[in-house]
């Protein structure tokens, strides 16, 4: 999804525990003339969700209805019944793990049409193990030296610029040198005897069939050099046989806990048997760099069962069911003036599920996408949605059905209907005047969970508006924000090796000091104290020579 004025409903979730503790669960919540409790059968999954005895509520954690998709931070996907049954069966006996891996590897090959299969402790762990396999070639003397690759003949991984992402941490954990390329010609020049592997993401449109830098082009360049191509298809639907292998990939990696609805902590690796045997050698129960990515016999058998279930599943019936849920929600929302309802049937393999896009003019209805996502995610029953606010005033959020459970469509319909049925007064555009002028240099102390870092802010103030620079431990980035009265809200974003880190400051000004909290997105929170730096730069006259220097 493009980075516009983006508000992700997902980002609210790590904060919600403190917000929700003082609220009571509304198991009989009524909106209009409709009672959510009355709509649920006593034995439905949704009835269990609403019950006070829900296992998560027993430890003070409020469960969430997932209208986002397969995001790990809210649990990925729910395991299919066949998966839970298989994991329970596997929990009753001991087994030799290498023998189990061989048996599962062959079974996955038979089911999928790939040469071999392997189960890892999540997709990212699989990326790490496969990188180790390509670096070591199955040589255990090399394996136990990772991440010190001194003397290794293979120690480089090529990644096209467009595929650099937060998940290539798993590849870099092995200690390889990452070589970034922008074009097929650069790829040809980058391949050398030290090249261990090429890595791409299946979701990058540049790699789609017919594009100048497609997977077919990449594999065509790599194959004469015997360089493996690893495709990360974590959130994709499984195709039989795997489409990326047919297009030239050597290995394709899936998340078990996403579309396939297997164990959340399992990954599915399919492709070249020799590499996958070396990758299994690089994973637990064996020692070495992959010991920390342990996958249990329950997850291994559960992942195999998920693939068996996938092969037998009536995917057309699932799609029809999901469309029916969206129809229920659409009919409930259709009387609300100002809402535009659009069902989008996604065709790409990644997060393939029908979606209801609910859009409106935020100035007309006096509520933004951010505010809707906050209302749905912070209050009970909690619902996670993806929301955005466009610069042209249009707001929208998506209701994604792929991980919703029967009966939840009624809860979602009523919660959304209640929000948009409220009468809201037009928002005032005026801002409270600032109580201070923050222009200048500030020494910034940030208290993380177990350390303190010294940063700095260089602020330029124009009325209520703030801009400037934020210097972190390692780099500088642009900062922007506002001050209203003594309330300060600022944000800066840093791009770090295929990843992003955003600092969102919320605090109060007191004279020459600011203090408050920092929202770090998925990395939770920190505290900050900023003090105005009163040190003045020394005043020195500058002497400019009249010509070239006579001495150096």
- Asked if the model's pLDDT at residue 485 lies above 90, the reply is yes
Mean pLDDT (whole number) for 270-280 = 98
* Residue 25, token pair as written in the block: 């669960």
Spatial separation of the C-alpha atoms in residues 325 and 322, rounded to whole Å = 5
Structural domains present in the chain: 6-66+315-421 (3.90.1150.180), 81-312 (3.40.640.10), 440-532 (2.40.128.120)
| 233 CB-side CA count, 13 A | 31
Mean pLDDT (whole number) for 302-322 = 97
pTM for this predicted structure:
0.88
Residues 153-208 have pLDDT tens digits of 999 999 999 999 999 999 999 999 999 999 999 999 999 999 999 999 999 999 99
Q: Quote the pLDDT of residue 60.
A: 92
- Asked if the model's pLDDT at residue 420 lies above 80, the reply is yes
Q: Are strands 156-160 and 195-201 parallel, antiparallel or unpaired?
A: parallel
Higher pLDDT, 347 or 44: 347
Of 17-31, 245-259, 528-542, the one with minimum mean pLDDT is: 17-31
Q: Quote the pLDDT of residue 21.
A: 36
Q: Quote the pLDDT of residue 218.
A: 98
Q: Quote the pLDDT of residue 75.
A: 93
Q: Which helix (H) or strand (E) holds 142?
A: helix 140-143
Higher pLDDT, 331 or 10: 331
Mean pLDDT (whole number) for 103-119 = 98
Mean pLDDT (whole number) for 71-100 = 96
Average pLDDT of every residue of the chain: 91
Of 58, 62, 56, 59, the closest CA to residue 25 belongs to 62
Residues 374-387 have pLDDT tens digits of 999 999 999 999 99
Q: Quote the pLDDT of residue 309.
A: 97
Q: Quote the pLDDT of residue 45.
A: 64
pLDDT category, 44, cuts 50, 70, 90?
low
- Asked if the model's pLDDT at residue 16 lies above 60, the reply is no
Q: Which residues pair with 457 in a beta bridge?
A: 442, 470
Residues 534-552 have pLDDT tens digits of 888 788 999 898 899 888 7
Output the CA–CA distances (angstroms, integers) from residue 201 to 88, 101, 147, 234, in the order listed: 33, 26, 24, 9
Q: Which residues pair with 500 in a beta bridge?
A: 495
Cβ contact 412:421 at 8 Å:
no
* Contact partners, residue 90, CB within 8 Å, separation at least 6: 297, 298, 300, 301, 302
Higher pLDDT, 16 or 317: 317
- Asked if the model's pLDDT at residue 280 lies above 60, the reply is yes
Mean pLDDT (whole number) for 230-256 = 97
């Amino acid at each position: 999804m493009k980075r516009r004025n983006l508000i992700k409903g997902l980002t609210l979730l790590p904060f919600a525990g403190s917000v929700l503790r003082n609220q009571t669960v509304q198991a009989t919540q009524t909106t209009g003339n409709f009672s959510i409790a009355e709509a649920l059968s006593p034995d439905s999954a949704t009835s269990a969700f609403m019950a006070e005895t829900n296992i998560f509520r027993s430890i003070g954690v409020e469960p969430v209805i997932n209208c986002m998709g397969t995001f790990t931070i809210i649990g990925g996907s729910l395991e299919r019944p066949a998966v839970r049954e298989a994991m329970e069966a596997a929990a009753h006996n001991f087994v030799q793990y290498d023998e189990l891996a061989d048996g599962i590897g062959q079974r996955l090959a038979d089911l999928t049409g790939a040469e071999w299969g392997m189960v890892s402790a999540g997709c990212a762990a699989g990326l790490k193990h496969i990188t180790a396999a390509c670096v070591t070639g199955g040589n255990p003397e090399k394996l136990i030296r990772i991440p010190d690759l001194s003397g290794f003949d293979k120690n480089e991984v090529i990644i096209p610029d467009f595929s650099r992402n937060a998940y290539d941490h798993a590849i870099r954990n092995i200690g390889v040198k990452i070589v970034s390329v922008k074009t097929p010609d650069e790829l040809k020049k980058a391949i050398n005897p030290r090249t261990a592997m090429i890595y791409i993401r299946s979701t990058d449109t540049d790699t789609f069939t017919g594009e100048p830098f497609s997977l077919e082009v990449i594999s065509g360049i790599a194959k004469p050099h015997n360089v493996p191509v690893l495709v990360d298809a974590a959130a994709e639907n499984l195709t039989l046989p795997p489409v990326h292998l047919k297009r030239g990939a050597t290995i394709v990696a899936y998340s078990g806990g996403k579309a396939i609805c297997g164990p959340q902590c399992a990954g599915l690796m399919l492709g070249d048997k020799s590499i996958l045997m070396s990758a299994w050698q690089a994973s637990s129960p064996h020692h070495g760099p992959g010991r920390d990515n342990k996958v249990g016999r329950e997850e291994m058998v559960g992942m195999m069962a998920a693939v068996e279930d996938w092969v037998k599943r009536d995917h057309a019936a699932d799609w029809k069911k999901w469309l029916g849920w969206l129809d229920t929600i659409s009919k409930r929302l259709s009387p609300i003036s100002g809402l535009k309802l659009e069902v989008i049937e996604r065709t790409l393999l990644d997060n393939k599920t029908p979606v209801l896009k609910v859009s409106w003019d935020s100035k007309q209805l006096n509520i933004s996408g951010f505010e809707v996502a906050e209302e749905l995610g912070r209050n009970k029953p909690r619902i996670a949605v993806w929301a955005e606010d466009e610069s042209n005033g249009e707001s929208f959020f998506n209701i994604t059905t792929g991980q919703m459970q029967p009966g939840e469509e009624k809860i979602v319909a009523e919660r959304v209907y209640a929000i948009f049925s409220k009468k809201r007064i037009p928002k005032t555009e005026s801002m409270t005047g600032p109580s201070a002028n923050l222009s200048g240099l500030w020494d910034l102390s940030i208290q993380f969970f177990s350390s303190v870092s010294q940063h700095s802010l260089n602020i330029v103030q124009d009325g209520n508006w703030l801009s400037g620079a934020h210097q972190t431990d390692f780099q500088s980035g642009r900062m922007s924000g506002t001050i209203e009265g003594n309330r300060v809200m600022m944000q800066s974003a840093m791009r770090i090796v295929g990843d992003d880190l955003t600092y969102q400051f919320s605090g109060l000004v007191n004279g020459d000091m600011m203090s408050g909290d920092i929202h770090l997105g998925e990395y939770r929170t920190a505290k900050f104290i900023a003090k105005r730096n009163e040190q003045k730069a020394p005043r020195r006259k500058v002497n400019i020579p009249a010509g070239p220097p006579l001495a150096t």
